[in-house]
Amino acid sequence: MDSVLVNPAALARGLAQTLPGETVTVFENTPVLRADFGQQVTLNTVSGRVIADNIILATNVFTSSFGFLKSRLLPFFLTASLTRPLSDDEFSLIGRAKDWGLISGHRMGATVRLTDDRRIFIRNTADCRFTPHQKAGELDHFRRIHEDGIARRFPMLPGLKIEHTWGGFVCMTRNRTTAFGQLSRNVFTSTAYNGSGVSKASLFGKLLADKIAGAGSSELTAAEEMAPPKWMPPRPILDLGVQAAVLSTRRHLGKDG
């Protein structure tokens, strides 16, 4: 069976650019300040209001911020870095291979790949955040971790510098399941993909549209029969459990996954 590497940012941009303009309107950089769930759903934003009979919360780890799935979702902050392009000599030192990608068999292991423009990509950090927000200035810390990981994997490239570092959140659940279906009378969601968002979100998004449109299928039935995300204990008990699990995984994988 063949597999492919997908740039998720390019995928998201491409989907937004090809949506049917006559039926879909995309609002970017428009944070929701308040959501009221009544006979209709009203979203208050910095630029105005959106009123709808039904709403799909495709908000992943931020779904609990709207009052749903409380004590069910764990936000994990992942970071990645991309080096400058390799020179001809550096490219020769690693065998002049065609672009490739390696993904750890463990869900918290490292991802390393060589891009088609000769850059080395690495992702090898995963930290649980009970408040899903990025901290100011912390990317420098993760960049140093990535530099160390690259240096140990590619000791023949001592002068290779990182040009870009970024981070984002994935949503995990205690029992590794996805929250799918109807949350209230006019609120629907597909949330928590446990690190496999591109594939799972595509599948469950289509099935959720089928559910709202009243189009049944065996796949939809299977999705609706999934076990819901398990409840998690309150903090600080939850903190101790998560920290113990993360430390155990790091000891198993080694310092940098």
Mean pLDDT of the chain: 90
Query: Model pTM greater than 0.75?
Result: yes
For helices 197-213 and 8-18, give the axis angle rounded to 10 degrees.
30
Q: What are phi and psi of 198, to 5 degrees?
A: -60, -45
Q: Has residue 256 got a pLDDT over 60? A: no
pLDDT tens-digit readout, 197-209? 888 999 999 999 9
Q: What pLDDT is recorded for position 171?
A: 94
Q: What pLDDT is recorded for position 79?
A: 94
Task: Please report, rounded to a whole number, the percentage of residues in the chain having pLDDT higher than 90.
Answer: 68
Match 């796949």 to its residue by tokens: 219
Average pLDDT over residues 48-57: 95
Q: pLDDT band for position 152 (50/70/90)?
A: very high
Q: pLDDT band for position 253 (50/70/90)?
A: low
Q: Has residue 5 got a pLDDT over 80? A: no
Range among 98-102, 210-214, 253-257 with highest mean pLDDT value: 210-214
Radius of gyration from C-alpha coordinates of the chain: 21
CA distance 163 to 143: 10
Q: What pLDDT is recorded for position 3?
A: 73
CA atoms within a 13 Å half-sphere pointing along the CA-CB vector of 134? 15
Q: What pLDDT is recorded for position 135?
A: 79
Q: What pLDDT is recorded for position 19?
A: 94
Q: pLDDT band for position 50 (50/70/90)?
A: very high
Match 């490739």 to its residue by tokens: 100
What is the C-alpha end-to-end distance of the chain, expressed in Å? Answer: 27
CA distance 203 to 223: 10
DSSP character at residue 168: E
Q: What pLDDT is recorded for position 244?
A: 86
Is residue 87 within 8 A of residue 150, CB to CB? The reply is no
Q: Has residue 132 got a pLDDT over 80? A: no
* Beta-ladder partners of 181: 189
Q: What pLDDT is recorded for position 257?
A: 53
Q: What pLDDT is recorded for position 129?
A: 85
Q: What are phi and psi of 82, to 5 degrees?
A: -135, 130
pLDDT tens-digit readout, 29-38? 999 999 999 9
CA distance 114 to 99: 5
Q: What pLDDT is recorded for position 128?
A: 86
Q: Has residue 136 got a pLDDT over 90? A: no
